[in-house]
Structure 1
């Protein structure tokens, strides 16, 4: 299977402080990849490199075979990469409906294809947003803001959806709704790179997992292998 996203030998950091050391990661079309590790191990830094908000010191990033290393975030977004950032970053003065209409665009390279994630389809995925379509971003709960951030990203019809801390800080009932959404997206063939700490819930969702420890890849494998090695959870994931 061809690789949708491929990063090789990524070294990156902030000023004189190096955070990532020779990271290799790839995501195939229609695949769900989980990026795991305890806090401070380099996951968010790697996502910044992949989305263009941090230039790597060394290494290459390719998307659909094209070199996107050093490309601006907006250009990477137009190629078909969408991120749901940690902290959600919804606009406080825009309504739910305005969020979904303002950012909507067809999938890159598929202008003649009927849009999959119309506003109505997004309300079908997240009925709670449909009930609050007139509410401003700052009138939503944290869970509703996370739903909106995911829906906003989907409205761009991404080829790759990236979620940084997909269910962090959410109430259990809202977490379940996010997991349901991600399972639906997987069934529809969406390629997803997801960061989350709930390993047990990632097992049935993710096709492969990559574990970071102090900016290095210490393990990669499929869900069956991760499920079988609970010692790995204790050593590297704090579970």
Structure 2
């Protein structure tokens, strides 16, 4: 996939925790040359067992974790680039967010001292002019329960309501790329169904999405392409039809 076609393009990314990869003691490398491209309007998943590098990949893409080697571009902007022994270039996470990247983080991370409506107003941005902007009316139409709870504080919401709020908060920035890390983790089945319905609506609206989730059957019906990670490397990638047909991938890498 050419850079001209990709909204997000990551080439050979290496990252980890502690000291820089290759610097010796104290370094813990997690990613080993990840390539990932997403076209505008695509829904792409990162799959794999726990600890295989999915969340680390997301943290690296949004600038929350330093890139040790490789290059990440968003649109026409290089947001991070590094090579062994050479200079390192990186935008701050807030600068990457302003380019149009929004994340629904694992654990939701709603603010306990803000109301639902304050969450949606505080982060609002109309940077994306490719479609009608997400405003309060549209967000409440997507999640009617949030309208009912609009004066409730973040810590007064159920887990499912917090997840709805986290998604709505991300959409209020009108992102070009929406990233969801374990969007349905720990939710009751009825709430999980609401989240899947929401994601389907977003896909139909043309929202570009990168998603991590363990419910593979649901992702097959939603996503255009899938990347499977194993120990920080992409070991399989393809569309939903190919993944549905290749059960050896499920058994080898997905714990199914």
Q: TM-score, normalised by structure 2?
A: 0.90
Name the counterpart of 1:12. Answer: 15
- CA RMSD, 1 decimal: 1.1
The DSSP-based 3-state class of the residue aligned with 1:89 is coil
Unpaired stretches in structure 1, ≥5 consecutive residues:
none
Name the counterpart of 1:49. Answer: 60
Name the counterpart of 2:181. Answer: 164
Matches within 5 A, 1:35-184: 35-69=46-80, 70-108=90-128, 110=129, 115-184=132-201
Aligned residues: 236
The DSSP-based 3-state class of the residue aligned with 1:178 is helix
Q: Quote how far apart the aligned CAs of 1:93 are.
A: 1.1
Q: Deviations over 1:134-176 (max 9, x none)?
A: 1100000111100000000000000000000110111111110
The DSSP-based 3-state class of the residue aligned with 1:221 is strand
Q: 1:23 aligned to 2:43?
A: no
Name the counterpart of 1:192. Answer: 209
Determine the C-alpha separation between the residues in 2 that align with 1:208 and 1:107.
27
Q: Quote how far apart the aligned CAs of 1:116 are.
A: 2.0
Determine the C-alpha separation between the residues in 1 that align with 2:78 and 2:38.
15
Larger radius of gyration: 2
Q: Deviations over 1:67-106 (max 9, x none)?
A: 0001100000000000000010000011101100111011
Name the counterpart of 1:225. Answer: 242
Q: Quote how far apart the aligned CAs of 1:2 are.
A: 1.0
Determine the C-alpha separation between the residues in 1 that align with 2:207 and 2:218.
18
- Please say if residues 106 and 115 of structure 1, whose CA atoms lie closer than 8 Å, have aligned partners that are also in contact: no
Q: 1:203 aligned to 2:203?
A: no
Determine the C-alpha separation between the residues in 2 that align with 1:22 and 1:93.
41
The DSSP-based 3-state class of the residue aligned with 2:72 is strand
Q: TM-score, normalised by structure 1?
A: 0.97
